[in-house]
Structure 1
Amino acid sequence: MQRLDEARLVGSDRVLAVLKELGRFPDGVGLEELTRAIGSPKPTVHRALQSLRRAGLADQDARGHYLLGDEFLRLAFAHHEVRPEHVRIRPVLEALAAKFGETAHYAVLDGRDVVYRAKVDPPAGAVRLTSTIGGRNPGHSTGVGKLLLAQQLPTLDRVTAWVGSAELERRTPHTRCSAAELHRDLVEIRDRGYASDDQENEIGINCVALPVYALSPAAPSGAVSVSALAYRTPLAALVDAVPEIRRLLGPLAGGR
C-alpha cells in the first residue's frame, strides 16, 4: 500500500487524510493498519481519530475497528440527494436501466478523472457492474470522460497539454494512450454528439455516453452512459440505441 507523504500531513491535513482512508474500509480498520496506510506515528493518527469521533465523522465498533461515522454518512447522503442534477437525472437512469436491461450512470469530470454521481442497475436478471457512486475512473478511457473532455479540449494542442509528458494509463489494449489517438476520438465525439467506450476501460465492458444539460443550456453538467457486457449487448447495439437514449433524456439532452 502506498504511504502518504508525511511532510504534507500536519494538523487538519492529517485529520482529513485519516477520514479519506477510513472511506476505503467499509467494514472498519484497525489502528495498526490505518497507521501504516497513513504513514504517520500511531499517537498522531489516534488523535486524529478522536477528533473525528467527537465530530461524529468516525466511529469505533465492538472489535475496536474504526469506520466512517453516522454523521458523516448523513451529511454525505443529504448533500448528494439534494444536488439538482441528481434529483433530475435519477428517473432517467431508472428508465434507461429498465429499457435496455443494462447499467446506467451519471458522471462528472473532476480533473483527469470521472466521478460517478448516480448509478442504476437493471431491475433484475443481469450482472451488476463494479462501479460505485463516488467511484472514479480515468477520463481518457471512459465514454463519459471522453464525452466531457471533448468539450474542454477542442484542439490537438490542448489535448497534448492535457496529456503532458507522461503516457496515459493503458487500462486495456484498446485504451487511447497518446494525444493523437485521444484527439481523433474527441473530434469524432464532437461531430456525432455522443461518445463510446469499446472495452477501453475494462475488458468485456462497453458503453455509449451522451451529454446532460442539467444546470445550464450552454455547457453539459455531466454525462449519462449505458454500460453493458460486450458479449450480451455489442457496442453496435448501443450505438443504434443513441436516439432512444436521447429521447429518454428529454430536455436534459440539450438542443442537439
Structure 2
Amino acid sequence: MLDNVPVPAASSSGKAEESRLVGSDRVLAVLKELARHPDGVGLDELTRAIGSPKPTVHRGLRALCRAGLADQDERGRYRLGDEFLRMAFAHHEARPEHVRVRPVLELLASRFGETTHYAVLDGREVVYRAKVDPPAGAVRLTSTIGGRNPAHATGVGKLLLAHHLRTREDVAAWVDDLPLARRTPRTRCTVDDLHRDLREIRERGYATDDQENENGINCIALPVYPTSPATPSGAVSISALAYRTPVSSLVDALGEIRRTLGPLGEPHPSR
C-alpha cells in the first residue's frame, strides 16, 4: 500500500527535475505531431498544433534532429528522420508475428462475437499461433494455441494452400499417396475437388470452411502478411457456429473484415 509513503517537500532541485520532465514531454509532443505530417510541416504550423511557445518547439526539434529522429528538408519543413523509421521498422519486424496480429483478432472477435484465429501452414497441417475468444457470454470453441488441423479441411489451411498449390499437378504431388482425411461429409477429399476449391480461393481472395472440418462450425479466412511482403505468412479466420452465423453472413461482411485487417492484409511485393 502507498497511503503512508511520505511525499518529499518541493525544493529547487525538485522544481528543476519537474521542468526537465515537462521539457521531455514537449519533445515527445513534437515527435508525435511530426508523425501526422509525412510531407513535412513548418515551424509555425507545428507551434500552433502543439500549443507551445515557438522557442520551446524549436528546441524540441533541434534535440530530435541531433538524435536523427527528425530532419529538415530543402523547403525548411520538418519531418520524421530516417533513424526514427529505421528503429520503428526494426522493432516491428523483430516482434513475433502473432503479437502483431492479435489486436486484429481482438477487434474481429469483439465485432462478430465469434472466435478468431491466426494460423500458419506446417506441411499437411495448420498450426494455430493465436486465438481470441468472443466476449463473455458467447459460445467458445475448443481450439487451442499450438493445436493442429488438416490443412485441406480448414479455411485457413485452404487459403494458404491456394498460394502454394497453383496447378492440379501441384495438388496431386502434395496429396501423393496419402489419402485426405474426411472430417465431415463436406470435406474436399479428392485432388480434383481440392484443386477446384483452391483455384476459386485464389480468384476471390478468401477461403471458407462450410462445416468441412467440424460439423456445425463455419469459418471465413483471409491472408495476412506480417513477415512476408508478397506471399501470406499466415491466415486470419473467424470461426462461428453455423446455426447462428452462416457462411453467407461472414461473406457479406468481407469488406468490413478487410478494413479491420488493414495493412496486415495487404501484400507489399515492392518492399
TM tier relative to shorter chain: 0.5 to 0.7
Q: Distance in 2 between matches of 1:226 and 1:129?
A: 11
Q: If the length of structure 2 is used for normalisation, what is the TM-score?
A: 0.63
Counterpart for residue 210 of structure 2: 198
Q: 1:243 to 1:231 in 2, by over 3 A?
A: same
1:62-103: per-residue Cα shift (whole Å, max 9, x none)? xxxxxxxxxxxxxxxxxxxx8521121010000000000000
Residue pair 2:218, 2:240 contacting (<8 A) in 1 also? yes
Counterpart for residue 237 of structure 1: 249
What letter is aligned with 1:184? R
Counterpart for residue 146 of structure 2: 134
Q: Distance in 2 between matches of 1:226 and 1:242?
A: 11
Alignment counterpart, residue 92 of structure 1, candidates 88, 91, 104: 104
Q: Distance in 2 between matches of 1:222 and 1:131?
A: 17
Confirm or deny that 1:211 pairs with 2:209. Answer: no
Counterpart for residue 43 of structure 1: none
After superposition, residues 83-162 of structure 1 pair within 5 angstroms as 83-162=95-174
Percent of pairs identical after alignment? 74
Counterpart for residue 76 of structure 1: none
After superposition, residues 1-256 of structure 1 pair within 5 angstroms as 83-255=95-267
What letter is aligned with 1:154? R
Q: Distance in 1 between matches of 2:197 and 2:256?
A: 23
Tell me how far 1:255 sits from its aligned partner.
Answer: 4.5
Q: Distance in 2 between matches of 1:141 and 1:238?
A: 18
Residue pair 2:168, 2:192 contacting (<8 A) in 1 also? yes
Where structure 1 has 5 or more consecutive residues not aligned to the other structure, the ranges are: 1-81
Q: Distance in 2 between matches of 1:166 and 1:111?
A: 13
What letter is aligned with 1:181? D
Q: Distance in 2 between matches of 1:130 and 1:216?
A: 29
Tell me how far 1:216 sits from its aligned partner.
Answer: 2.1
Q: How many corresponding residue pairs?
A: 175
What letter is aligned with 1:105? H
Q: Distance in 2 between matches of 1:226 and 1:234?
A: 11
Q: Distance in 2 between matches of 1:158 and 1:221?
A: 19
